[in-house]
Amino acid sequence: MDAKQIREWDDKYVLHTYARAPFVFDRGQGTRLTDTEGKVYLDFVSGIAVNALGYGDEEVCSAIAEQAHKVIHTSNLYLTAPQSQLAKLLVDHSFADKVFFCNSGAEAVEAAIKFSRKYAQVHSGPDRIEFIAMSGAFHGRTMGALALTPRDHYQDPFVPLMPGARIAAFNDLDSVKALASDKTCAIIVEPVQGEGGVNPADPAFIQGLRALCDEIGALLIFDEVQCGLGRTGTLWAHEPYGVAPDLMTVAKPVAGGLPMGVTFLTDEVAAVIGPGDHASTFAGGAVVAAAGVKVVGRIADPEFLAHVRAMGARLEAGLLKLQARHNSITEVRGRGLIWGVQCDRPVKPVLDAALGQGLLLINAGPNVVRLIPPLVVDEADVDMALAVLDQAFAEAMQ
Ligand SMILES: *Cc1c(COP(=O)(O)O)cnc(C)c1O
């Protein structure tokens, strides 16, 4: 099938919920993708912070192939080895005592919402139903997660959403305190906001949320669907803040590009959940879990995380140099290998110019260039991306 035919069929038969790039990808290796015309792209998008180990990773591909030949799906009525192995690995490397498997970020958030509601019902009765989320947050597109994703454009066509959603200002503890009460079931926050513009939370904000939750008897949920699992240079993005949540959601990178979400819980929360309270047919299937075991094992290695921090420092230094050279750049924000370049105008022309030079980039809101490369990028990749970005700014933003 040629690219033209693929585009025609997509346009005709696939629901129009995406604005797609014009080319068609054929294959990937390492940090590079190749389209059907043979053009090679350096990938600083990673399938939206998913492909942490890049493309064609030998260990991940072999684990998938081997498990597929053994058995692909059994449902959660029966046990297979990979799910238990992955659960132990995740618990051993986190604050959590238990994990619940699902199939996406939104589902992991939806599970955290349900577990929080049940915890509140059991411990406080029926009135504690409110969730506090932050301005600029992104938690997903299902009706519960969407209620906690305060963007009119996403929400308005689909009202009424889940009741009880309250929105405070990110990094403004007083605004959260103003909404908090004995009706607050849980507070949900991304330690580093992704879609909202790459905004790291202030330490005092995260620590204040922990103290506030303890004071009012609410649960604290960290959404690490995008920033978790090595992306920020520590295994979990919340580690540098020195506080742990009651629940955490993880998804994008966890199964090497196969769909998986994970909701992490303390025993205290897990104690209120029993058989039948929540479930998923596909969740934690043998193939995705086998991939997850390889991905999590590799990323949890301290040497791997040191590599992320080293490449992140190189990228940060380069981006700060770009800021000094280009007036349109007003701020550079991020940590590890998630960076946002805030501009004083829409960045679409920069993304297009970079694409022309073979560099894949994504925005985070109209005025922010987001850089979320595979965590296996090397120095040459980082330097090439910086050089292309420099030229793209020179071309597109003068
Ligand atoms: C992407 C994302 C989600 C939603 O994940 P899906 O897999 O697209 O449902 C939720 N929270 C955060 C922080 C995300 O970045």
Whether 43 has a pLDDT exceeding 90, the answer reads: yes
Q: Which among 221, 398, 384 has a CA at the least distance from the CA of 318?
A: 384
Pairing mode of beta strands 165-168, 130-134? parallel
Domain ranges across the chain: 3-56+302-396, 59-299
Please give the CATH topology (third level) of the domain spanning 3-56+302-396.
Aspartate Aminotransferase, domain 1 (3.90.1150)
Classify residue 241 by its DSSP letter: G
Asked if residues 154 and 141 have their Cβ atoms less than 8 Å apart, the reply is yes
- 381 pLDDT band, cuts 50/70/90, is very high
State the pLDDT confidence band at 137, using cuts at 50, 70 and 90. Answer: very high
Instruction: Give the span between the Cα atoms of 393 and 239, in whole angstroms.
Output: 34
| Closest CA to ligand 1's atom 15 | 226
Please indicate whether the domains covering 3-56+302-396 and 59-299 agree at the CATH topology level. no
pTM: 0.98
Question: Which residue type occupies 190?
Answer: E
pLDDT at position 1, please?
A: 84
Structure tokens at 175: 């605004």
Task: Kindly report, residue by residue over 199-241, the tens digit of the pLDDT.
Answer: 999 999 999 999 999 999 999 999 999 999 999 999 999 999 9
Atom of ligand 1 nearest to the CA of 106: 9
For domain 59-299, give the CATH number: 3.40.640.10
Q: What is the pLDDT of residue 146?
A: 98
> How many CA atoms does the CB half-sphere of 275 hold within 13 Å?
2
What pLDDT, on the 0 to 100 scale, is given for residue 274?
96
CA 50 vs CA 58, 205, 332: distances in Å:
17, 27, 22
Tokens of 363: 């925005």
Residue type for 360, please? L
Can you tell me which atom of ligand 1 is nearest the CA of 142? Answer: 9
Nearest residue by C-alpha to atom 8 in ligand 1: 105
Gap between the Cα atoms of 41 and 38, Å rounded: 10
Tell me, in angstroms, the distance from the centre of ligand 1 to residue 324's CA. Answer: 33
Q: Give the pLDDT of residue 33.
A: 98
pLDDT attached to residue 398: 79
Q: How far apart are CA 161 and CA 140, in angstroms?
A: 13
